[in-house]
Chain A
Amino acid sequence: MIIKIKDLDVFYKNIHALKKVSVSIENGKIIGLVGGNGAGKSTMIKSITGLVPIKNGKIFFNDRDITRLDSASIARLGISTVPEGRRLFAPMTVQDNMNLGAYLRFKNEKKKDIEKDIKKIFELFPRLMERKNQTAGTLSGGEQQMLAIARALMAKPKAILMDEPSTGLAPLIAKEIFKVIKSLKNRGYTILLIEQSARMALKISDYAYVLESGKIVLKGKASDLLKDESVQKAYLGV
């Protein structure tokens, strides 16, 4: 168990955005979190990364209580985020965005090793390599999403949180992104995948939770959820 979220309560002013939510993210697995608009999915990621105040409940990372840490301290422990809307540094080059992903490593590691890592990650995303000297703002939506993932990988994270990586992408491009996410799992990464496209997310997840107006209404093996009648009705359009 790498991240353990216990009985989380989060409020936005008067809105009870998360209601006693408990989620476990296990080592080397993709954990899916699906749900409709406004179900509280993004709030989950924001709570883990210290971007929204937590009213009740606890978040543990490798048994360490990280509930009240700020986002930089959480990142320093080894949790990388692929944030909603990608949040790239648009006027900076692809290469610089990746370097900044490795910001914390520059203190203890040699520049050479980091550059080697960039090359390795470029193998995963050959299109980024071609555009490494272009500014991030000039990339297409799919390329930007890949860069956001590549930037997160540069930190050598112990866990990656992905917030709606398929949003705004054409179906074919989204499919490609999911393929990449699956290949990351095969490389041993631990991933929390938050998605509105439930079908694609469930297909690549090992275990999944269904969030509905701030509550976990269903959880189980992703393959079981795919067959679940209520899930099919509500999220898969069957």
Chain B
Amino acid sequence: MLTDVIQAIFAALPVGCIYALVALGVALIYNATNIINFAQGEFVMLGGMSMVTLYGEMHVPIYLSIFASVAIATIIGMALMKVAYRPGKNTSLIIVLIITIGASLFISGSAMHIWDADIHRFPAFSGEKPIVFLGAAIVPQSLWVIGLTFLLVISLVCYFQFTIHGKAMKACALDRTAAGLLGIKVKRMVLISFAMSSALGALAGIIMTPLTMIDYSGGMLLAIKGFSAAMLGGMGSFVGAVIGGFVFSFLESFTATFVSGSFKELVTFIVIINVLLFMPNGIMGPRSKEGLEEEEVLGE
């Protein structure tokens, strides 16, 4: 029993990191633009697939492969910004949302043609030999995932908490006009946020592929999980995004261990539907009066 619990935790931790990274990417773009990017999972897929080709098949040195894979996803992310971000053009949020869903389908479809429909992986960073702890096993790659996620989260939080550049990026989302009047080049900020977000996604894909494997279609489900995690945590909150990611991964892992593996997604979606219905601001989101008023209007 104890071993089962520890094993479930070991399984949940790296997956939670990946969900958290995707959720952070969603929160990052949301924080700068109020756009919810459903193509976020595609960056993960692109990062993983590029790494498969470069590192796994062409045996390019690992750092160069990582750099190139992140660069590829970042360029696509910046291209997505040019398509999805259209301020002052009377585009409603729903249109932008559909643009990002369309972009997601386009990217995964293209990936199927560029690569193939098979499932891929490449060798783990430091061997595949599991480390046994109290009868439960964890592979070294999981530790890589946990460690790197920790570093990425810390640096993101510091960027937004302590640097003027990070605060300026947040200002762009809060009030684009006011930000512009202060001399902040809003468009460039938004481009940077898309670049950061896609790089983050690609890194997630790179570190997770030896663990979870990847195929061309893996992005959409990840994006939905990441979006759900970001919603659960409170859209725009980084701490919330990380918490949300882990809540979902633990729910899934424990459901898979103690109920059935085929139920794990069911639990995720039951939770997210309830979050959307009953606490749309999430765990860390603002409890604003406006939000309450909106809810009341919806209830009428």
Please state if A101 and B167 are interface contacts (CB–CB under 8 Å): no
Contact with A along B164-177 (1 / 0, CB 8 A): 11011011001101
Please state if B180 and A75 are interface contacts (CB–CB under 8 Å): yes
| Inter-chain contacts of B171 with A (CB < 8 A) | 89, 92, 100
Please state if A155 and B182 are interface contacts (CB–CB under 8 Å): yes
CB-CB under 8 A for A89 and B175, given A75-B180, A106-B164: yes
Instruction: Tell me, in angstroms, the Cα distance from A180 to B152 when the chains sit together.
Output: 45
| Inter-chain contacts of B167 with A (CB < 8 A) | 92, 96, 99-100
Instruction: Tell me, in angstroms, the Cα distance from A71 to B167 when the chains sit together.
Output: 19
Instruction: Tell me, in angstroms, the Cα distance from A155 to B185 when the chains sit together.
Output: 15
State how many angstroms separate the Cβ of B245 from the closest Cβ of chain A: 23
Is there a chain A Cβ closer than 8 Å to B183's Cβ?
A: yes
State how many angstroms separate the Cβ of A147 from the closest Cβ of chain B: 12
Please state if A49 and B181 are interface contacts (CB–CB under 8 Å): yes
Please state if B168 and A71 are interface contacts (CB–CB under 8 Å): no
| Inter-chain contacts of B182 with A (CB < 8 A) | 75, 100-101, 103-104, 151, 155
Instruction: Tell me, in angstroms, the Cα distance from A106 to B167 when the chains sit together.
Output: 12
Please state if B174 and A90 are interface contacts (CB–CB under 8 Å): yes
Number of interface residues of B (CB under 8 A): 19
| Inter-chain contacts of A96 with B (CB < 8 A) | 167
Q: Which of B165, B174, B180 contacts A71 (CB 8 A)?
A: B180
| Inter-chain contacts of B185 with A (CB < 8 A) | 72
Instruction: Tell me, in angstroms, the Cα distance from A49 to B181 when the chains sit together.
Output: 7
| Inter-chain contacts of A104 with B (CB < 8 A) | 182-183
| Residue in B164, B168, B181, B186 with the greatest tally of chain A CB atoms within 10 Å | B181
Is there a chain A Cβ closer than 8 Å to B184's Cβ?
A: yes
Interfacial residues of chain B within 178-204, with CB under 8 A of chain A in the complex: 178-186
Closest B residue to A87 by beta carbon equals: B178
State how many angstroms separate the Cβ of B84 from the closest Cβ of chain A: 21
| Inter-chain contacts of A155 with B (CB < 8 A) | 182-183
Closest B residue to A111 by beta carbon equals: B164
CB-CB under 8 A for A99 and B164, given A72-B185, A89-B175: yes
Instruction: Tell me, in angstroms, the Cα distance from A87 to B177 when the chains sit together.
Output: 8
Please state if A87 and B175 are interface contacts (CB–CB under 8 Å): yes
Q: Can you list 22 A-B contacts (CB < 8 A)?
A: A51-B177, A71-B177, A71-B180, A72-B183, A72-B184, A72-B186, A75-B181, A75-B182, A75-B183, A87-B175, A87-B177, A90-B174, A92-B167, A96-B167, A99-B164, A103-B168, A103-B183, A103-B184, A104-B182, A104-B183, A106-B164, A151-B182
Chain B residues within CB distance 8 Å of chain A: 164-165, 167-168, 170-171, 174-175, 177-186, 286
